[in-house]
Amino acid sequence: MTDNGLTPEEARLVTALLDTVIPPSDDGRLPGAGALGLVDHVVQTLRAMPLLRPVVEYGLGALAERGFAADIAPAERTALLAKFAAADQLFLPAFLFLAYSGYYQHPRVVAALGLEPRPPHPKGYPMGPDDLRLLEAVRRRGRRYRDAAAPAEQGRGRPSVTRS
Amino acid sequence: MAETTADVLVIGAGASGAALAWSLVETRMHVVCLEQGDWVDPATLPGTTTSWELRQVGDFNFSPNTRGRREDYPVNDGDSPIAVSMFNAVGGSTILYAAHFPRLHPSDLRVRSLDGVADDWPLDYARLEPYYAENARMMGVAGLAGDPAYPPKEPPLPPVPLGKLGMTLAKGFDRLGWHWWPSDSAIATRDYEGRAACVNAGTCLVGCPQGAKASTDVTYWPAALRRGVELRTRCRVREITVGPNGMATGVIYYDADGVERRQKAEVVVLACNGIGTPRLLLNSRSPQFPDGLANRSGLVGKNLMFHPYAMVTGLFEEPLEGHKGPTGCCIMSQEFYETDPGRDFVRGYSFEILRGFGPIYTALWGMTTGRLPWGAAHHRAYAELFDHTAGLVAICEDLPEPTNTVTLDPELRDADGIPAPKITYRLSENSTRMLAHAVARGQEVLEAAGARATVVESPLRLAGWHLMGTCRMGTDPRTSVVNPWGRCHDVRNLFIVDGSVFVTAGAVNPTNTIQALALYVADTMKRNLANLFDDDP
């Protein structure tokens, strides 16, 4: 049993599956998901979203039964996963959610996308001034709203319902 | 402990409850507010973490059903194409809103007279205008004066930045000769009233750790508490009690420990949103009000209006820096706002420009729209999406339909055992045609701005933010629940100040109007304290 509660075999299976859905990029700039240690993320997210757990656990077991394993060729893993996903509409979207949500917040990936790997707050992002001269065309087209004062309300200032 | 009687008991500490409590407390009355949620600690908001996008679909999900927090109540929205969004906390749904802060148009309050549909409001734009202005000062509205789509108004703060994304889309609107204008946004674009300026972090929809976004926990509430309002959190009201004379006497609620309590009050004000308010009234049955409190008209829970949304996302060749800037606010177009007899629908819609998607949401959106494969082709497809999307939503006016309702679910209950609301809602033919028009025009403007492809999602399901119409106002007790200043026709010391009282919906985000109405109701109460419970003139 590993620290995250999975057996070593289960952890290898999840890692292989992560690498299958997000393999390394051809140019080597982006790692495969299996290389980022996302198994803990998968487990923690399933704990936080327990409704996903049965479908993911079922899918992992079913794939293992069909021969999906860490030690088979990547092309064979891809073929097995595609075949399983064609017959089971639930597992793959759930697993992709887990994979994408972990992969695309990982510092290595975020940096490779050109962003600073940090929380948005408190630093935020600088933005330059806008050229609002474009609005001149909108102004030239003139007023667009309809005059719609109710007859009984027209001419009233600050309201009062004080009775006479 | 001796049971005290509040002069005014406000139920709900969100947008309207905060504004009303702040306004009323200058009377020196004892104002008590009960809120089922708690304070949100800014330091714990998702924007302070790298997992903020994931938390948007988890513990900060728009849907109370998905969040499932102790303070949330479940909403059965299975019989509706639009799912209910809300947040329960001090600040209410302003904690998660985009802070888009437009006003209604003058025509929105006169739809029967102008367009022959629905009903006119019993007040007009001129009556609301001073309260819009006061609310702009209190919330800190950023915008640019001179919008030809509105009567003159002067936002106190400069507009939020458009950025590369906004300017790209603005050029698209200009190429078509369509109206656009920098959005009015309740966002401090510079330091304002103790709030730090926006840093363009783009996490508005999961709360603003900076305090730049005007949620009422950082605007009205600090001022209201300094003035002496008593705010009790984690207190969920079960029912409003009535005396033999048919007047409200107070409430029964559960405190933070789940212990049943009572609070007496001279005046009760409901500020629980367009779902929570009818739910509470329907849960407050008595021999005098067997169909629910203040429901002799039968209209409590009827005429539920959302704003049906269509979302059109454009894919662009150029990177757009879409992760920068306030999420929901940038540009608004009201080219198609007013009724045009040449169209096959009445009334109209606004376009609101959205920022781009963050890394995680890009992947999830790509997956759900079928544009992002897994496997070997993943990275190439992702590179075409990330920072290359810009979208808009069309926010369509929804007309009131008595068959769109909030009722009590016969089985579903919250954590305190209180019956939960059930939504029954159908898109009208008018809304369906309006959505189709908006989708086509949205694609047209995105293509004019340079989009190489567009993706349509219509109607958006998890977009039921705007909860309106379920206790509408009017002069006739047979056709409305509250009078023109928010007092229930049937119970003269019971007031409603949330979106329930809307007669029609307009085609803009309602928070500014909800708060302006709350300030108007409070002001009217203050001016009439000596004869607050008298007959309507």
Candidate from A110, A141, A159 with C-beta closest to B520: A159
Q: What is the mean pLDDT of residues A61-90?
A: 96
Nearest CA in chain B to A19: B375
Q: Report which of B253, B213, B239 is spatially closest to residue B71, judged by C-alpha positions.
A: B253
**Does residue B295 have a pLDDT over 50?**
yes
C-alpha span between B18 and B271 (Å, rounded) = 9
Nearest CA in chain B to A155: B126
The verdict on a CB contact (< 8 Å) between B202 and A125 is yes
DSSP letter (8 states) at residue B204: G
Q: Does domain B1-40+70-140+214-305+465-537 have CATH number 3.50.50.60?
A: yes
What band does B188 get if pLDDT is binned at 50, 70 and 90? very high
B152 in contact with A, Cβ within 8 Å? no
- The reported pLDDT for the residue numbered A21 is 98
Which residues of chain A neighbour B473 with C-beta distances below 8 Å?
Answer: none
DSSP string across A86-152? HH-TTHHHHHHHHHHHHHTTSHHHHHHTTS-SS-STTT--------GGGHHHHHHH---SPP---TT
- CB distance B324 to A127 below 8 Å: yes
- CB distance B31 to B10 below 8 Å: yes
Nearest CA in chain B to A117: B50
Nearest CA in chain B to A151: B124
B370 in contact with A, Cβ within 8 Å? no
Candidate from B54, B125, B161 with C-beta closest to A149: B125
> Would A89 be classed as within a structural domain?
yes
**Does residue A158 have a pLDDT over 60?**
no
C-alpha span between B276 and B500 (Å, rounded) = 9
> Would A20 be classed as within a structural domain?
yes
The verdict on a CB contact (< 8 Å) between B375 and A23 is yes
Residues 198-227 of B with CB under 8 A from A: 198-203, 209-210
Say if pTM beats, i.e. exceeds, 0.90. yes
**What are the angstrom distances between the C-alpha of A156 and each of A163, B130, B232, B256?**
15, 11, 38, 46
**Does residue A10 have a pLDDT over 80?**
yes
Nearest C-alpha of chain A: how many angstroms from B370? 11
B492 in contact with A, Cβ within 8 Å? no
- The reported pLDDT for the residue numbered B2 is 55
Nearest CA in chain B to A129: B161
Q: Most A CBs within 10 Å: which of B23, B41, B54, as the mutation test of the A interface?
A: B54
- The reported pLDDT for the residue numbered A3 is 59
- The reported pLDDT for the residue numbered A4 is 65
The verdict on a CB contact (< 8 Å) between A145 and B105 is yes
Nearest C-alpha of chain B: how many angstroms from A5? 22
What band does A163 get if pLDDT is binned at 50, 70 and 90? very low
Which residues of chain B neighbour A164 with C-beta distances below 8 Å?
Answer: 537
Q: What is the mean pLDDT of residues B332-361?
A: 96
**What are the angstrom distances between the C-alpha of B62 and each of B88, B192, B347, B468, B483?**
10, 28, 28, 17, 32
Q: What is the mean pLDDT of residues B208-233?
A: 97
**Does residue B519 have a pLDDT over 60?**
yes
B290 in contact with A, Cβ within 8 Å? no
ipTM for this prediction = 0.91
> Would A126 be classed as within a structural domain?
no
Q: Which domain holds residue A59?
A: 8-112
What band does B321 get if pLDDT is binned at 50, 70 and 90? very high
What does the pLDDT look like over A43-58, one tens digit per residue? 999 998 888 999 999 9
What does the pLDDT look like over B128-155, one tens digit per residue? 999 999 999 999 999 999 999 999 999 9
What does the pLDDT look like over B241-275, one tens digit per residue? 999 999 999 999 999 999 999 999 999 999 999 99
Scanning the structure block, which residue is given the tokens 């103790």? B194
- The HSE-up count of residue B377 (CA atoms within 13 Å, CB side) is 7
What does the pLDDT look like over B395-434, one tens digit per residue? 999 999 999 999 999 999 999 999 999 999 999 999 999 9
Looking at the structure of chain A, the number of domains it has is 1
- The reported pLDDT for the residue numbered B501 is 98
**B74-78, B255-259, B532-536 — which is least confidently predicted?**
B532-536
Measured in whole angstroms, the distance separating CA B24 from the mean position of its chain's CA atoms is 22
Nearest C-alpha of chain B: how many angstroms from A59? 16
Candidate from A45, A100, A156 with C-beta closest to B126: A156
The verdict on a CB contact (< 8 Å) between A139 and B338 is no
B485 in contact with A, Cβ within 8 Å? yes
> Would A39 be classed as within a structural domain?
yes
What does the pLDDT look like over A95-119, one tens digit per residue? 999 999 999 999 999 999 999 999 9
Q: What is the mean pLDDT of residues A26-39?
A: 95
Candidate from A92, A93, A139 with C-beta closest to B148: A139
The verdict on a CB contact (< 8 Å) between B167 and A48 is no
Nearest C-alpha of chain A: how many angstroms from B262? 32
Residues 517-536 of B with CB under 8 A from A: 520, 523-524, 527-528, 531, 534
- The reported pLDDT for the residue numbered A161 is 36
Q: Report which of B211, B201, B217 is spatially closest to residue B53, judged by C-alpha positions.
A: B201
State what percent of residues in chain B have pLDDT above 90.
97
The verdict on a CB contact (< 8 Å) between B359 and A131 is no
**Does residue B114 have a pLDDT over 50?**
yes
Token output for B27: 């009377």
> Would A86 be classed as within a structural domain?
yes
C-alpha span between B405 and B412 (Å, rounded) = 16
